[in-house]
């Protein structure tokens, strides 16, 4: 090619620059267009979100008053709880102080009770010593009463033999002898009663635990466990200087397991009232065994069947025959042979009246002593 036809260098450079400028301008146009589209899209999104937020603003504005009320209520509740907590703390502190005071009082009471129990134990030891002395005196007196019982039994046997002799001489024809027989039978009853009372003095059936002289009632240390029954009567006595002092008569009105209540029927001396630790005695009553009774003769107030029923229904044992196991013979009129046999066997003898007066048995309804 001819060198004169070649494109000038400057023109080539200008074309290159133009081309680059055109490419740059087009690229910038595309960038701006894309940026504008993105901004428009962002604007639309923000516009949508703005509408949503404005709607949410109205909803949230409606929630503000209730929430304010709840916040106010919570504040009031918190204040109330704070006050209650403070009050509870004060109450707990006061209760702790009060309990400490109560514990101190209880400790003092316990100490007093312990001292009381110690005093009671000391008193019990002293009373046991006194009881030992009483038992020693009782054993000494028992020997004396054995001699008296032997003498009384001998008198009873002599008088009974005299009665039998008088009856053999003139039972059907001599009124004077019949009168003598009655007198001698009464004497047998008196001697028998004296013998039974003398024997019982050494073996009291119980003691008075507590006496209420103004009310006329006493508490006894025997009850159902000791075969005691309502209506039983006891003679009350005490021992002074080795002698028996009779103080009165009581009747059981209420029976519990180990104790009973009795009313005072008679006081020998109002200046010497019934007191705790006084002894009680009944010639028929026994706390240790079931007594056996035999019945012989004719009776004025009750029949034999009634007496037998009274004995069995009230815990006694009816013995059809007299034996060494029989404790008492209830003797009526025309019971001479049975009286002789009872004396030989050493059986205690009771009349119908003595059985009734002992009050070991309940009488049938409507009957009077």
80-102 tens-digit pLDDT: 888 888 888 888 888 888 888 88
Residue 20 has pLDDT above 50, yes or no: yes
Residue 260 has pLDDT above 90, yes or no: yes
The Cα-based distances of 12 to 3, 18, 23, 26 in angstroms read 15, 10, 16, 21
The Cα-based distances of 71 to 63, 68, 82, 183, 186 in angstroms read 12, 5, 16, 114, 110
pLDDT tens figures, 333-356: 989 999 999 999 989 888 888 777
Q: How confident is the model at residue 9 (pLDDT cuts 50, 70, 90)?
A: confident
Please tell me which residue, 212 or 175, carries the higher pLDDT value.
212
Residue 363 has pLDDT above 80, yes or no: no
Taken in order 6, 9, 15, 19, the sign of the CA dihedral is positive
Please tell me which residue, 168 or 247, carries the higher pLDDT value.
247
Residue 247 is predicted with a pLDDT of 92
Sheet of 328-331, strand order: 317-318, 292-296, 328-331, 348-350
The Cα-based distances of 287 to 125, 128, 155, 223 in angstroms read 26, 22, 30, 9
What's the first-to-final CA gap in the chain, in angstroms? 182
- Distance separating alpha carbons of residues 115 and 193, to the nearest angstrom: 49
The Cα-based distances of 11 to 3, 23, 87, 145, 153 in angstroms read 16, 18, 103, 176, 183
Residue 185 is predicted with a pLDDT of 63
% of the chain at pLDDT higher than 70:
84
Q: Domain 206-281 is of which CATH architecture?
A: Beta Barrel (2.40)
The 10 Å Cβ neighbour count of residue 211 is 20
Q: How confident is the model at residue 173 (pLDDT cuts 50, 70, 90)?
A: low
Report the CATH fold assignment for 292-358. Rossmann fold (3.40.50)
User: Chain-wide mean pLDDT for the chain?
Assistant: 82
Residue 296 has pLDDT above 60, yes or no: yes
Residue 177 has pLDDT above 90, yes or no: no
Q: How confident is the model at residue 368 (pLDDT cuts 50, 70, 90)?
A: very low
State the Cα torsion 316-320-323-329 to the nearest 10°: 60
- Distance separating alpha carbons of residues 295 and 316, to the nearest angstrom: 13
Q: What is the DSSP letter of 319?
A: -
The Cα-based distances of 301 to 10, 140, 163, 306, 356 in angstroms read 177, 41, 24, 10, 10
Residue 257 has pLDDT above 50, yes or no: yes
pTM: 0.40
Q: Which of 241, 277, 240, 346 is nearest to 123 (CA)?
A: 277
% of the chain at pLDDT higher than 90:
21
The secondary structure of the chain in percent helix, strand, coil, rounded to multiples of 5, reads 60, 15, 25
Residue 277 has pLDDT above 80, yes or no: yes
274-298: string of b/e by CB count within 10 Å (b at 16+)? Answer: beeebbbbbbbbbeeeebbbbbbbe
């Amino acid at each position: 090619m001819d060198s004169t036809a070649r494109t000038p260098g400057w023109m080539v450079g200008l074309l290159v620059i133009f081309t680059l400028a055109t490419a740059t301008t087009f690229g910038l146009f595309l960038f701006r267009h894309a940026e504008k589209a993105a901004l428009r899209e962002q604007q639309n999104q923000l516009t949508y979100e703005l509408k949503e937020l404005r709607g949410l603003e109205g909803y949230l504005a409606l929630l503000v008053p209730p929430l304010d009320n709840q916040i106010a209520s919570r504040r009031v509740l918190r204040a109330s709880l704070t006050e209650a907590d403070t009050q509870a703390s004060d109450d707990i502190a006061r209760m702790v102080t009060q309990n400490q005071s109560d514990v101190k009082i209880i400790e003092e009471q316990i100490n007093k009770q312990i001292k009381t129990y110690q005093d009671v134990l000391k008193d019990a030891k002293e009373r046991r010593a006194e009881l030992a002395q009483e038992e020693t005196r009782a054993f000494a007196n028992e020997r004396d009463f054995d001699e008296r019982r032997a003498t009384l039994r001998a008198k009873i046997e002599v008088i009974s033999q005299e009665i039998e002799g008088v009856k053999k001489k003139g039972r059907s024809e001599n009124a004077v002898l019949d009168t003598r027989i009655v007198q001698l039978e009464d004497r047998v009853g008196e001697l028998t009663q004296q013998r039974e009372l003398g024997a019982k003095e050494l073996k009291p059936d119980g003691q008075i635990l507590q006496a209420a002289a103004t009310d006329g009632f006493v508490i006894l240390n025997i009850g159902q466990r000791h075969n005691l029954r309502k209506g039983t009567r006891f003679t009350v006595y005490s021992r002074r200087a080795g002698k028996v002092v009779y103080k009165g008569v009581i009747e059981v009105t209420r029976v519990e397991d180990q104790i009973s209540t009795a009313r005072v029927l008679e006081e020998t001396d109002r200046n010497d009232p019934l007191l705790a630790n006084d002894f009680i005695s009944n010639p028929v009553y026994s706390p240790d065994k079931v007594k056996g009774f035999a019945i012989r003769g004719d009776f004025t107030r009750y029949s034999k069947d009634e007496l037998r029923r009274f004995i069995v229904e009230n815990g006694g044992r009816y013995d059809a025959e007299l034996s060494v196991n029989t404790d008492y013979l209830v003797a009526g009129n025309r019971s001479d042979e049975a009286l002789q046999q009872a004396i030989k066997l050493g059986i205690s003898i009771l009349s119908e009246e003595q059985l009734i007066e002992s009050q070991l048995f309940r009488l049938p309804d409507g009957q009077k002593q």
